[in-house]
Chain A
């Protein structure tokens, strides 16, 4: 039997992107929660919960980019030009927040400016990621393997709303993470913030789902037209179950459960998206097989990935283990 390399690569990149959303989601989310916590000490603790890991989290974004580049160069050379401005703004956002991590503690007079850079950088990066996602769902004009649309094709009410959706998702993830990693007053405040955040998140998911189904006939056909509805129906039901679980665990003061359930919602939303576009990689027309690089390229990169990716996951997990437990004021971090 012939191994279907493009499918394997699509799975690897899908996994990589999901890990990215999961990990950088909560650490971008911390930037989004900054405005709700004015006190200097609180902000310091919030930042220190991710100080040792943010860099590793962001590396998954580079993996997603490099994986696409290696396995599906056509996606790289169509999706990226189509989303030129949002991607540029996304990396600008990442630059500002990455620099804020390093420089905030060293600045004395300008610390407020760096806090602002951290908030805006995180927000801009999250918003732009959502816009790119939205524009991908809408579909991208491709002819002969080249992007043939205009420079502002990505801009639409739908893609902007997807941007807001991602903002809310990341803020919720960040809040769940901080419930896990903090204690005392700060943790209580996080728990209070979690309830409204989850409600808004549920609203956003509902609107994006309905909008996709109503506005994008191809996606609607995929969900309702192909007779697979029985298989796909658990997705929305499980989302509602998770939201209920988060409310319950916040009330019962669980430490980790709100974060885990938020991750579960992300996973469900993400799998919903995959169902919507599969087996295309750039809707409406480019499938994963058409977008693939040469088999020898995919195989060469695959050999290394299969060996190395598990090792990477192990030592990334070890890093989280080393820095497990609550973060307190005065712990080593950025000062």
Chain B
């Protein structure tokens, strides 16, 4: 098998572009809701620290959102350029779902984003809050549709095959397919956690550098509260998602666990090991008896089907997802630990003064993003060799492109993405390093932006 044929290059390109893309929407989804909460608190309490926080985080949100929009346009067109087999065979399902996403989510976000970012002096505070709320709701609606579409690809139902095409018969079943509720919950919470750790890490950085003003302390504190609430829920949801996957995509679970034989009387868990696809064994495995059954079936002797039950051409590539899954799950545990330690320090009244903890939280800043990517790699590579599980193979989804086209476009995307999004991320980090301004309110009053008193501004030399 040729590695650099059009098929593998196209897959590599999709993996690359979608991995870059997903990071930005995840930040936007979490951050938009955080911003809505901040503005709501500001309207309710009149405490300007909330508004300072809002103005600060909304700038970072804006950059992330812009990056998400432009990298998303690429995705929408890649389905046609590289994966026209998929578009024409599965387009009857995924097309309308994408149309709904654009109509109900993208426009809602874009339509109110301008007011949210630039409209402070043109609309009332309540109208502004409404705009922020619409942006936040838009990000969540977007999550709904795209995960409905993605979940259909994992656990398709409510369709028939006509003339070699997938044709919908029951849209309710299509959208609310078996894995959808779990995936939706898991991803939404993940996005909140991504944003939570970014906010917490930024707060930790400024606490370490001696700032003790309200916006900094409150960012740190609020983020840790959110994480304390969400990390345990996420672990429970992840567990439920695992049970669901075992039922509907058993080969994926077997590959995740590096499990080759279907064992009677309880399956052990491979803590670490190196799955070997050719030899059909997992080398150097360190096992804990019965733990596999306990986690995946919630019973002492539950049966988990091994990879050998599936023909070799239907097996996902275990060495990748064995490790990405462990990375995600390990980080999840570390996140829970972070939140719990935060609670302990808070009870003792040492939250803002414990430097080792702040350093730790700072290092955990990207953990949400890393775990998110690892999780998506696990579920998507685990779906292989299918694009629509059990219906359409990835090989048959490809466009009539040649290796040169796929290779050149991949090269272009790699260069452009690292340049543009690299710079974008750099500026986001620089803004976070500068931290929230404390005196925004006073400066605004001096400039009389509503009145546009040009004479006064000229006097002040502006």
Contacts and interface: CB of A to CB of B under 8 A. Distances in A.
Nearest to A308: B103
B433 interface: no
Contacts, number: 242
B77 A102 contact: no
B457 interface: yes
Interface stretch (B185-193, B284-292, B395-403): B395-403
B99 A69 contact: yes
B409 interface: yes
Contacts of A332: 118-121, 449
Given A66-B101, A73-B95, A328 B169 contact: no
Interface string A60-101: 011101110111011011111100110111011011101101
Contact of B102 (A63, A79, A80, A293): A63
A72 B299 CA distance: 49
Nearest to A145: B88
Nearest to B111: A315
A59 B76 CA distance: 11
Given A66-B98, A102-B63, A147-B400, A96 B167 contact: no
A85 B410 CA distance: 11
Contact of B92 (A56, A59, A293): A293
B112 A315 contact: yes
Interface residues of B, number: 79
B456 to A, nearest CB: 12
Nearest to A332: B118
A92 B412 contact: yes
Contacts of B70: 91, 94-95, 98-99
B462 to A, nearest CB: 7
B103 A76 contact: no
B123 interface: yes
B263 to A, nearest CB: 44
A316 B91 CA distance: 28
A102 B98 CA distance: 26
Interface stretch (B79-87, B204-212, B332-340): B79-87
Given A66-B99, A95-B416, A300-B168, A330 B87 contact: no
Given A56-B114, A77-B399, A319-B112, A99 B66 contact: yes
A312 interface: yes
A74 B85 CA distance: 10
Secondary structure of the A side of the interface?
Answer: helix
A16 to B, nearest CB: 10
Nearest to B70: A98
Contact of A76 (B87, B409, B416): B87
A71 B100 CA distance: 12
A296 interface: yes
B68 to A, nearest CB: 10
Nearest to B119: A322
B101 to A, nearest CB: 7
A305 B103 contact: yes
Nearest to B76: A65
B118 A102 contact: no
A323 interface: yes
Given A56-B114, A297-B92, A92 B416 contact: yes
B86 to A, nearest CB: 8
Contacts of B123: 322
A8 to B, nearest CB: 14
Nearest to A79: B80
B427 interface: yes
Interface string A39-68: 000000000000111011011011101110
A309 interface: yes
Nearest to A97: B70
Interface string A300-315: 1100110011001001
B77 A65 contact: yes
Given A70-B98, A95-B420, A300-B96, A294 B165 contact: yes
A215 interface: no
A319 B107 CA distance: 12
Given A55-B69, A146-B400, A301 B100 contact: yes
A76 to B, nearest CB: 5
Contacts of B80: 65, 69, 76-77, 79-81, 87
Contacts of B277: none
A173 B20 CA distance: 33
A301 B85 CA distance: 21
Given A58-B73, A297-B95, A323 B405 contact: no
A88 B408 CA distance: 10
Contacts of B81: 80-81, 84, 87-88
Contact of A301 (B96, B405, B409): B96
Interface in B282-337: none
A293 B402 CA distance: 27
A95 B74 contact: yes
Nearest to B449: A332
Given A73-B87, A294-B167, A53 B77 contact: no
A151 interface: yes
A59 B121 CA distance: 25
A103 B63 CA distance: 8
Contacts of A241: none
Given A55-B69, A304-B100, A332-B121, A151 B404 contact: yes
Interface in A185-244: none
Given A56-B111, A316-B111, 7 more contacts: A55-B109, A59-B102, A84-B81, A88-B409, A91-B70, A146-B84, A319-B115
Q: Which 7 A-B pairs have the closest CB atoms?
A: A52-B114, A80-B80, A73-B91, A70-B95, A77-B84, A56-B110, A98-B70
8 contacts: A63-B99, A63-B102, A103-B423, A106-B431, A147-B399, A294-B167, A319-B112, A333-B118
